[in-house]
Amino acid sequence: MSFHWYCSRLRIMGFATLLILLGVPATAGASDRSGHYVWMGIENSCGAYLTMRDRLRGTNIPDPYWRWLAGYLTAYNLLESGTVDITHGEDTPSLMQWLEGYCRAHPLSTFVEATVALTHTLYRKHAK
């Protein structure tokens, strides 16, 4: 077995372990030739996300949306070649504040759409 094979297996095992530890459902996305795709995991609207976020504010209850986002960003980092950290070290409150602003402006969008918009924004911001 080569060193590259060993490193690949470690990355896959590490990612799987991270998803289990975070309690994040396996999230999969793929598109057909027409660009249609299905996402598994968080399917709520931005409005539902904002309602839940307002209810959790000031409590010690973990935000399940943050956990889902952490899994999504980790998968992005793992699968996108040339990307080590799409957030470039931006802190959790900044990311969540961006998502909250997006969702307030687009309450009928899904949380997945907000997450994709965040990823595109982070990519463009740090691609310079």
At 83-97, the pLDDT tens digits run 889 999 899 889 999
CA-CA distance, 121 to 123, in Å (whole number)?
A: 5
The alpha carbon of 53 is separated from its chain's Cα centroid by a whole number of angstroms, namely: 16
For 112, the domain range is: 3-126
pTM, entire model: 0.65
Burial class (CB in 10 A: 0-12, 13-18, 19+), 41: buried
CA dihedral 89, 92, 97, 103 (to 10 degrees): 100
Burial class (CB in 10 A: 0-12, 13-18, 19+), 66: middle
Residue 106 pLDDT: 96
Structural domain count of the chain: 1
Per-residue pLDDT tens over the stretch 16-68? 554 444 444 444 445 566 665 555 556 689 999 999 889 988 999 888 888 88
Residue 62 pLDDT: 85
pLDDT: which is higher, 20 or 82: 82
